[in-house]
Chain A
Amino acid sequence: MTRHLIRVTLLLALGAMPASAQFSALPGVVHLRAEDAADIAVVQVRNEGARPLQLRLYLSDYDQAEDGAYLFHEPGTARGTCQGRISFFPDNALLEPGQRQEIQVRIEPGAGACWSLLFIESAPEGTGQVRVANRIGVRVLNAPASLPSDGGLAEVRASQSDSVRVEMLFRNTGPAPVELHGTLEIRDLAGTAVVSAQVGPLGVLPAHSRRFTTTLPALPPGDYLAVPVLDFGAEWLAAGQALLTVRRR
């Protein structure tokens, strides 16, 4: 009986532990095509928690390393920044549980592509020494329709230990940011797909490369081909292949 009481008390204590603000942003990537005219998109922010939520919104420049790690910079300081062309409204919101707020993002006319991050951040909560703030970064990409997308898979490597690992390197050689998505198939030498996986979406900035790995279940001994086929917004698809030989252990 005593043990029962302790267990119930513990569960109650855990349940009462306050979580940080919980909210969602839709979409996570905004695509705009401002060139001769301004272009506008809407980001939907929703309070997914059970308490009222105070949010602030602000911009940041960013760069991305080859492994996809973000490097954040002050607005207007990084190459490709949308600063001076981008605006959004409102810049703060007080949302009741379940309430949505539309955030309008606008890019003014201008030449060339640009990219920025729109941060949506909750106010820090609690009274402990270490308080937690939570933010979501929405990528805003402006790529005028007149800009071509160019790039391709520069490397494909496949190996198997406990699982199949396929490492790919995509190079964006065009003037616009691109979003990669597609499939990776492992085919036998007769060309039949034995297993496949979704790849992406992954963002790659102009003059940048992105290295990424997809893991698939281990395969029986034999010879296979790893075949990624990626759509990156061009008139053609990026594809590659690598031979995978699985030996008996």
Chain B
Amino acid sequence: MLLRRWAVAALVAATALPAHASAQQCSAAVLRDASISPASIAFSTPTVVDFDNQGIVYGSVVTVNITSSLWILPLSWSLCVNADTPNLGSSQGVSKPLTDLQVELMDGNWRPITSTQQRLRTGNGNATVQLRVRMRLSWDADPPGTFGTVLRFTVGS
């Protein structure tokens, strides 16, 4: 009830307030910029210990720097990730699943990579997102071979 009454009040007030022309100019001046460091991730050759631990974590933190502002005004953004391939490649007739590649936003929660978009984080204004990357390993399932993919980070408004 309160909500409806306020909406009516806003209808009256709207004539005195700047309307959408300026809004579109503002949103047209959005700057979005992103960079990811490093640009490629090379895991060291897994050791027996890595297989016993069922995974190997990439040694450096991957950093995504996002610029999303209009002068000093912060603008909203979303950061998604997906892989470019349906799996991590094959060896000896066995495909290594994409979900063996995982990322973590420094929160202890490992997220398997998928070929469909997965939203990692949303925010407002300039930001730095840090993540760790790991490859799951299995004595039973992994054949000898070299595996990999292209990770695609998408920044949108």
Residue of B14, B29, B67 ringed by the most chain A CB atoms within 10 A: B14
Main secondary structure of the interface of A (DSSP, over half): strand
Taking CB atoms, residues of chain A closer than 8 Å to B148 are 128-131
Taking CB atoms, residues of chain A closer than 8 Å to B28 are 27, 29-31
Contact among B11, B73, B101 with A130 in the assembled complex (CB-CB below 8 Å): B101
* Contact string against B for A residues 197-209, beta-carbon threshold 8 Å, 1 for contact and 0 otherwise: 0101111000000
Report the minimum CB–CB distance from A172 to chain B (whole Å). Answer: 14
A136 near B156: Cβ-Cβ < 8 Å = yes
Taking CB atoms, residues of chain B closer than 8 Å to A18 are 37-40
For the complex, give the distance between the alpha carbons of A153 and B10 in Å: 11
Is A20 interfacial (CB 8 A cutoff)?
Answer: yes
A240 near B30: Cβ-Cβ < 8 Å = no
For the complex, give the distance between the alpha carbons of A227 and B32 in Å: 29
Residue of A23, A27, A31, A152 ringed by the most chain B CB atoms within 10 A: A27
Is B84 interfacial (CB 8 A cutoff)?
Answer: yes
B39 near A21: Cβ-Cβ < 8 Å = yes
Is A244 interfacial (CB 8 A cutoff)?
Answer: no
A29 near B35: Cβ-Cβ < 8 Å = no
B6 near A29: Cβ-Cβ < 8 Å = no
Taking CB atoms, residues of chain B closer than 8 Å to A130 are 40-43, 58, 101, 133, 148-151
17 further interface pairs, Cβ-Cβ under 8 Å (given A20-B37, A136-B156): A19-B36, A20-B36, A20-B39, A31-B24, A124-B40, A129-B147, A130-B133, A130-B149, A131-B40, A134-B155, A136-B32, A179-B27, A201-B76, A236-B11, A237-B10, A239-B9, A241-B3
Chain A interface residues (CB < 8 Å from chain B):
17-31, 48-49, 68-72, 117, 119, 121, 124-137, 139, 149, 152-153, 155-156, 179, 181, 198, 200-203, 227, 229, 231-241, 243
